[in-house]
Every structure is written in structure tokens, then in C-alpha cells.
């Protein structure tokens, strides 16, 4: 597998996290140069060092245009920049729409969730797409690929997931539109909608939450692995005709109505 995409490069937002870290590792194994884009500079640097000479750390958030441009510049420096993966995710304890005492859902929490899980990924996507426009086209006329992270919450949002479900639903909604919009410059856009994936954040959740999350997975009867997310990113890179699609990665999950606030998955 090593060396298949030698000379190319990718930017992975959230590149030292669970999903992003597995993806960054996979892309390095494929021969790509990878920019680990993370707010925590120490975490990003440590992970880049672990991955070896093909990985470079850039500290910054997906709302910081200057930092994103630095990351894009590094991606161009270390290779032919053609892949952007948005895999950053932050868990936020979301309140109910209104509780029994009449307290409504806070708008600050809603705005923060939309900013983290929708506005940020869109911002990185638009700036990477603009950078891809300058690439030489491949044999299909392709210049780049954007992969965003949705969630099964986009389809089966649970109680106390209103803001998170809204953000992830918007990721799904904009994927096909983004792909059609970017077709004229040869840039593809897809999304992955993970179900319960065993990332470090979910591993720290109470056992009751973990049991509830896997109870309705059809098969295999377990949590998904971050490596499986990375495999799907690889498949999207290798399959140029796959465009404008959101693919669920959830073991055939069926999610009944629940009353707990499950940890966001992605």
C-alpha cells in the first residue's frame, strides 16, 4: 500500500483526533504528505512526529483564515495538494429545546454548535477548493477532493441533539450542492456520516451510553473503528466517479427515540 500516492498531499482538519488521526496515518501510508491541522500545537506536533517525515503540523482552527492559508501553503510545499478532509469534532452538552421549568435552549450553545460543525468545515472547504482550482487536471479533469464529516444524527437526531443534528444535517444537505458547484473546476465533494465510532472521546463515555449506542447496530455488533473511516476516505480518493454523496458508516444502525444526550460521533 505504501507509496501509491507519492508526491500528492492532503490537509486533515482535526488531524490529531480520532477520525482525523486515523485518516492522516492512512494517507501517510499511501505515500501522501499530510498537514495535521489542529488548534493544539503540541498535540499536532507530537502526532506529526509520530507519523514521520511526510507529516507536518500546523496549529490553528477552522475559523481562522490566516491559519488555514498557512496550512494550505504547507500542503503545497510538501506535495501536489489535492485532498481536504474535515474531521474535527467537539462535544458540547446541548440542553433541551425547553425544559419543564420553561427555560429555552440557549442561542449561544446553538450558534457555537453550528459554528464548530458547519461553518468551520465550510470555511476550510471553500479555501481548499479555491487552492485546488490552480492544480493541473488529471486524466478525468479532476483537481481535488473534499471530504466532510456528517453524522447519523443528520438522519436520526436524538433528544438534546437539536443543534448538533442541525449542523450535521446541513453538512449532508450541502454535499451534493457543493459537488455540483465545484464541478466546473474539477473538484469533487463527498461526506461520511459515522454512527458510533470508538474514538478516544467516546471511549471515555459512561458504559450506559456505550451500551445504548451499540444496541441497535445491525452488524457487526460493535463500535466502528476509526480505521474504517480512514478506509472510506481512501475509497473516495480512489473512486473518481464517487461525487456528491454522503455515505453512512454505521453497521446498519437503526436508532429509536431516546432520552439521553449521546456523545456526538464525528
The tens digit of pLDDT for each residue in 79-108 reads 999 999 999 977 666 789 999 999 999 999
Nearest to 212 by CA among 260, 170, 152: 260
Mean model confidence pLDDT for the chain? 92
Distance, CA of 186 to CA of 72 (rounded, Å): 18
pLDDT surpassing 70 at residue 110: yes
The rounded percent of the chain whose pLDDT value lies above 90 is: 82
What is each CA distance from 69 to 58, 129, 147, 157, 203, in whole angstroms? 10, 12, 18, 34, 33
Band the pLDDT of 200: cuts 50, 70, 90: confident
Query: What would the DSSP string read from start to end of the chain?
Result: -TTTTTTEEEEEETTTSHHHHHHHHHHHHTT-EEEEEES-HHHHHHHHHHH-TTEEEEE--TT-HHHHHHHHHHHHHHSEEEEEEE-------PPPSB-TT-PBPPHHHHHHHHIIIIIHHHHHHHHHHHHHTTSPP-TTS--EEEEEE--GGGTSPPTT-HHHHHHHHHHHHHHHHHHHHHGGGTEEEEEEEE-SB--HHHHTS-HHHHHHHHHT--SSSS-B-HHHHHHHHHHHHH-TT--S-EEEESSS------SS-PPP--
Domains in the chain, number: 1
Residue 259 within a domain:
no
Band the pLDDT of 203: cuts 50, 70, 90: confident
Residue 47 within a domain:
yes
Please give the average per-residue pLDDT across 152-162, as a whole number.
90
Residue 260 within a domain:
no
Residue 126 within a domain:
yes
Residue 2 within a domain:
no
CATH number of the domain bearing residue 62: 3.40.50.720
Nearest to 225 by CA among 253, 192, 250, 254: 250
Residue 22 within a domain:
yes
Distance, CA of 188 to CA of 113 (rounded, Å): 26
Please give the average per-residue pLDDT across 162-185, as a whole number.
97
What is each CA distance from 20 to 17, 89, 197, in whole angstroms? 5, 9, 12
* Contact present, 44 and 58 (Cβ < 8 Å): yes
Catalytic residue numbers read: 164
Question: Which one has a higher pLDDT value, 20 or 266?
Answer: 20
Residue 257 within a domain:
no
What's the first-to-final CA gap in the chain, in angstroms?
A: 26
Q: Across the strands, what pairs with 149?
A: 192
Nearest to 90 by CA among 26, 34, 39: 39
Please give the average per-residue pLDDT across 174-203, as a whole number.
94
pLDDT surpassing 60 at residue 34: yes
Q: Which domain holds residue 134?
A: 8-249
Residue 254 within a domain:
no
pTM, rounded to two decimals:
0.94
Amino acid at each position: 500500500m505504501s507509496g501509491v500516492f507519492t508526491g500528492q498531499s492532503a490537509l486533515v482538519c482535526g488531524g490529531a483526533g480520532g477520525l482525523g488521526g486515523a485518516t492522516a496515518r492512512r494517507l501517510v501510508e499511501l505515500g501522501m504528505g499530510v498537514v495535521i491541522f489542529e488548534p493544539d500545537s503540541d498535540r499536532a506536533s507530537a502526532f506529526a512526529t509520530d507519523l514521520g517525515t511526510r507529516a507536518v503540523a500546523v496549529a490553528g482552527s477552522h475559523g481562522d483564515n490566516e491559519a488555514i492559508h498557512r496550512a494550505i501553503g504547507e500542503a503545497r510545499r510538501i506535495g501536489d495538494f489535492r485532498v481536504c478532509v474535515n474531521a474535527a469534532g467537539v462535544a458540547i452538552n446541548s440542553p433541551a429545546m425547553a425544559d419543564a421549568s420553561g427555560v429555552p435552549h440557549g442561542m449561544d450553545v446553538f450558534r457555537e454548535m453550528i459554528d464548530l460543525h458547519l461553518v468551520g468545515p465550510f470555511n476550510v472547504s471553500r479555501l481548499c477548493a479555491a487552492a485546488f482550482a490552480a492544480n493541473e487536471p488529471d486524466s478525468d479533469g479532476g483537481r481535488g477532493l473534499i471530504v466532510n464529516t456528517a453524522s447519523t444524527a443528520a438522519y436520526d437526531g436524538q433528544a438534546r441533539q437539536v443543534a448538533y443534528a442541525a449542523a450535521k444535517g446541513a453538512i449532508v444537505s450541502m454535499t451534493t450542492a457543493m459537488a455540483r458547484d465545484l464541478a466546473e473546476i474539477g473538484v469533487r465533494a463527498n461526506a461520511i456520516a459515522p454512527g458510533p465510532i470508538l474514538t478516544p472521546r467516546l471511549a471515555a463515555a459512561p458504559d450506559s451510553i456505550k451500551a445504548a449506542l451499540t444496541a441497535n447496530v445491525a452488524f457487526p455488533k460493535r463500535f466502528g473503528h476509526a480505521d474504517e473511516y480512514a478506509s472510506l476516505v481512501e475509497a473516495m480518493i480512489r473512486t473518481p466517479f464517487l461525487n456528491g454523496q454522503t455515505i453512512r458508516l454505521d453497521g446498519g444502525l437503526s436508532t429509536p427515540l431516546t432520552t439521553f444526550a449521546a456523545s456526538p460521533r464525528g
